[in-house]
Amino acid sequence: METIKLKRGKENLLQRRHPWIFSGALAHQDKRLENGAVVKVHDFRDRFLAIGHYYNSSIAIRILRFDEGKIDLSFFIEKIKNALKLRKALGLIDNEECLVYRLVNAEGDGLPGLVIDWYNGVAVISASSAGMKLQENLIVRALKEVLGASLKAIYSRHDEKDGKYLFGKTSVPHLVKQYGHSFLVDWESGQKTGFFIDQRENRKKAADYAQGRKVLNAFSYSGGFSVYALDGGAAHVDSVDSSAPAIELAVKNAELNNLSENHHGIEADVFDFLTNHKNEYDMIIIDPPAFARSISRRHNAVTGYKRLNALAMNSIGSGGILFTFSCSQVVDNRLFEDTIRAAAIESGRDIQLLERLSQPADHPVSIFHPEGNYLKGLILRVS
């Protein structure tokens, strides 16, 4: 295990247990180090600080532990056991009404760069760091050890072009339940790991507001919000997405829940659709993909959120409800609210903030890593 030293004074962030070390903090970078290598981190006086995965990028080291233990099978077993223990405490394990949840949430569960989603017997792995990709075999062995007979298959999904089964195999779309609602999930060709699990509680909240309303679910993907809104008594729901396969899945999911009578799937660009449909809806849900994945793209993201929300505000009748979200990690809560405020000013409408929303408890955030609080949402009333 190679040792990397930090510059004088750069150990402060680690002493606050933040799990990232940026490249500017390194006293030197060894060109021979492989991306994903496990390294020790020492301060400028050569005192041990932590162990992590190295990567030649702006986030140079992702911390795995703050003691001098090993990064081996036992390490991953312990981490996954702890993650499973939390989900059991949340009532998500062996719950026939909720067969989909996040088992491991990266830094929130002490495993930076690793997400594992659970779909009714199938664990879908998404490793965003080179270190976690290199240790995939250990992760698979740990999952088998911890989950036992309940584990039917493991699928690795690093990006939309790179996926494979690491253990077992099953057909997709795969049927899961969430709060009693049935959904078809496709982790092989769908977005992310196949389903946006992080909106579980917010979908339930949307159902509470949907009674008797004409609802637009923008960026609908597979229709999660649409199914909940229809079950909550919406008069009608339009699911709009630019992806034809997504709309096809949304239509199937409405049918699967016997809610297709008042549902319409529309393949369209959301910005264009909102421009051409003024004051037609009593409730709009905007859940776009991340508009920015880096600081350099943040300004463009803010511009996009402002335009999108101003259009939505002008597409709602008086007294309408707007659910608006951002999953861009580089856009924090304050910036998001400031952006929505700017959109409200541009729309010329009176807007009331009713509730603030976030990710559910199976997407925990380390108190030392506030960046993990990536999902931000607002419920607004438009007069």
Report the DSSP pairing between strands 48-54 and 38-42.
antiparallel
CB 237 within 8 A of CB 230: yes
CB 110 within 8 A of CB 82: yes
Nearest of 154, 148, 155, 224 to residue 183 by alpha carbon = 224
Torsion angles phi and psi, residue 361, rounded to 5 = -70, -15
- The Cα 174–Cα 346 span in angstroms is 43
N-to-C CA span, the chain: 61
The verdict on whether 98 is a catalytic residue reads: no
Opening angle at CA 62, ends 61 and 68, nearest 5 = 90
Beta bridge partners of 263: 237
Neighbour-count burial of 212, counting CB atoms closer than 10 A to its CB (0-12 exposed, 13-18 middle, 19+ buried): exposed
Tokens at residue 358, please?
A: 């976030």
Neighbour-count burial of 342, counting CB atoms closer than 10 A to its CB (0-12 exposed, 13-18 middle, 19+ buried): middle
Number of neighbouring beta carbons within 10 Å of residue 350: 10
Residue that the structure tokens 């491991």 belong to? 104
- The Cα 132–Cα 134 span in angstroms is 5
CB 66 within 8 A of CB 41: no
276-303 as b/e: b if 16+ CB within 10 A: ebeeebbbbbbbbeebbeeeebbeebbe
Catalytic residue among 6, 327, 343, 379: 327
Tokens at residue 241, please?
A: 């997405």
Opening angle at CA 160, ends 154 and 164, nearest 5 = 30
Annotated catalytic sites, by residue?
Answer: 327
